[in-house]
Structure 1
Amino acid sequence: MSRMNRMGLVGAVLLLAAGTAEAKQWKYAGMHPRGGQPSDGLCHIEATHVHTAAPIQADVLYRTHDGAYVFIGDPTPFGYEGTRHAYYGHHPVVLNVLINIEVDVDVVEYCYHDGPHYHAYEPPPRHDFEEQEDVHYYTGEYPEEYKRESPQLVRVNTVYRTWNVPRPVVTVAPPSHYRGPIFQVNVNVSAPKVEVNVGAVPARHDVIIVHEHDDDDCDHPGHKHKHKHKKHKHKKFKERH
């Protein structure tokens, strides 16, 4: 090999190495999915860190702060085994609770998960939530930012419907102070968990419970009957001062 060819080869190797060293890095803060599918699992690094893999479904599963992606979704389908907190409907998420933010004011984003779902974090302080049957309901006002971003960010539900996501069991109506949309809950008594139809129903304070079972007296074995019952139970609330 001539000296000129050797120099060209060395130059190409150096350029390749430089390109590898300068590969795109994505900054994350807090726990987040490793990839775009539940089987990819979770990264549990809490401090701000980088990966060479871009966040999947970043526009609906994450919010950004100081250039870092912060996962605010339900971690359950990704194999999360830590403490879970149950919520119902859309609610505020204070990023200060999830990551280290050196400011005295709350950095507020909103979760647009429909119906019952889980998070790894507790309801943020200084925000109005009611707890009923271990499920947290947001009872405060929804600001203009929430309404403005809702058409785009509710797409998170389309993503989660493609996964097998265990949901909290909800069998009674939301508390009367709850201001968000109501969602129909289908209860299959032969199944070990509640199935949730996340299509919104009219904004009223009841939940339609649908029990499915096989009727032993039916002339057609295996035929399912559906019986609808409306629950009107409301927990008595303490008056706020």
Structure 2
Amino acid sequence: MSRMNLAALSAVLLFAVGGTAEAKQWRYAGMHPRTGQPADGLCHIEAMHVHTAAPLYADTLYRTRDNVHIFIGDPTPFGYEGPRHAYYGHHPVVLNVIIHIDVDVDEVEYCHHDGPHYHAYEPPPRQRFVEKEDVSYYAGEYPEEYQRENPKLVRVNSVYRNWSSPRPVVTVAPPPEYHGPVIQVGFKVPVPRVEVSVPGVEVRVGAPPPPPQREVVIIREERVVHEHHHDDHCGHGHKKHKKHKHKKFKDRD
């Protein structure tokens, strides 16, 4: 190989190595979606690690501490097959419990999933939950920080609405200790039937109507027989009709 070709190859290799070294790296801790698309699955590394893929929907699906991204969403759409715990509504999430580290003060964030959903982690300790039919409900008070961040973080529901994700089946009302939003996701409501009649056009919306009942119509024909009195001209004489005189009645005192 000539010196010119060798120098060119070395320059290409140095450029490639330099480009890889300068690639942006993102820090993660705990299980998380690989790319943010359900078809790409999950990364199951529990310890802190790095990826060159940026976290998709980082402002709603993750919470960050020291530039480390921690996934707190429902892993079901990403093909998660491990143990699942059913929750209903908004509830606290303790980050240090999720990634299994010991701290003096809990790092508390909030999940803003509406209605029934799953998580890979159990209800955290030192937080008040009540259970009803195997579904956990947060029974504590929501702090001001939650109220302030809710309009932004509740957008997580718009993200999950685009994905096919089975949810826990909840058929009863939440317990009285739960003070969060009550939203039944995926509940089917019967659609009323609407008909619009236009000459030559028929528009129907809703469920098909029941089959029509058979209607029996009985038409009774009444014959009216008129008797005609006529003179018999076959050898019979004419009959004289008597005139009936109407009597006048005088009023009596």
Q: TM-score range by the shorter chain?
A: 0.7 to 0.9
Q: Supply the distance in 1 between the matched residues of 2:84 and 2:12 (Cα, whole angstroms).
A: 51
Larger Rg: 2
Q: Supply the distance in 1 between the matched residues of 2:42 and 2:9 (Cα, whole angstroms).
A: 41
Q: Supply the distance in 1 between the matched residues of 2:124 and 2:115 (Cα, whole angstroms).
A: 19
Return the offset for 1:123: 0.5
Q: 2:25 touches 2:51 (CA, 8 Å); kept in 1?
A: yes
Q: 2:139 touches 2:177 (CA, 8 Å); kept in 1?
A: yes
Closer, same or farther: CA 172–211 of 1 in aligned 2, 3 Å: farther
What's 1:95 paired with? 95
After superposition, what is the alpha-carbon deviation per residue over 1:38-78, rounded to whole angstroms, capped at 9, x for unaligned?
Answer: 11111111111111111111111001123211000000011
Letter in structure 1 aligned against 2:210? C
Letter in structure 2 aligned against 1:54? A
Which residues of 2 match residues 24-103 of structure 1 at below 5 A? 24-103=24-103
User: Which is richer in strand?
Assistant: 1
Gaps of 5+ in 1: 186-194, 198-209, 221-241
Closer, same or farther: CA 211–86 of 1 in aligned 2, 3 Å: farther
Return the offset for 1:82: 0.7
After superposition, what is the alpha-carbon deviation per residue over 1:148-167, rounded to whole angstroms, capped at 9, x for unaligned?
Answer: 11111111000000011100
Q: Secondary structure at the match of 2:184?
A: strand
Q: Supply the distance in 2 between the matched residues of 1:81 and 1:154 (Cα, whole angstroms).
A: 26
Q: Supply the distance in 2 between the matched residues of 1:33 and 1:184 (Cα, whole angstroms).
A: 26
What's 1:160 paired with? 160
Q: Secondary structure at the match of 1:182?
A: coil
Q: Percent of aligned positions with the same letter in both sequences? A: 71
Q: TM-score, normalised by structure 2?
A: 0.71
What's 1:237 paired with? none
Closer, same or farther: CA 9–184 of 1 in aligned 2, 3 Å: closer
Gaps of 5+ in 2: 192-206, 213-253
What's 1:130 paired with? 130
Q: Secondary structure at the match of 1:181?
A: coil
RMSD: 2.6
Q: TM-score, normalised by structure 1?
A: 0.74
What's 1:182 paired with? 182
Q: Supply the distance in 2 between the matched residues of 1:87 and 1:211 (Cα, whole angstroms).
A: 27
Return the offset for 1:145: 1.0
Q: 1:219 aligns with which of 198, 205, 211?
A: 211
After superposition, what is the alpha-carbon deviation per residue over 1:163-207, rounded to whole angstroms, capped at 9, x for unaligned?
Answer: 11100010110001110011135xxxxxxxxx248xxxxxxxxxx
Return the offset for 1:37: 1.5
Letter in structure 2 aligned against 1:60? T
Q: Secondary structure at the match of 1:184?
A: coil
Q: 2:112 touches 2:154 (CA, 8 Å); kept in 1?
A: yes
Letter in structure 2 aligned against 1:82? G
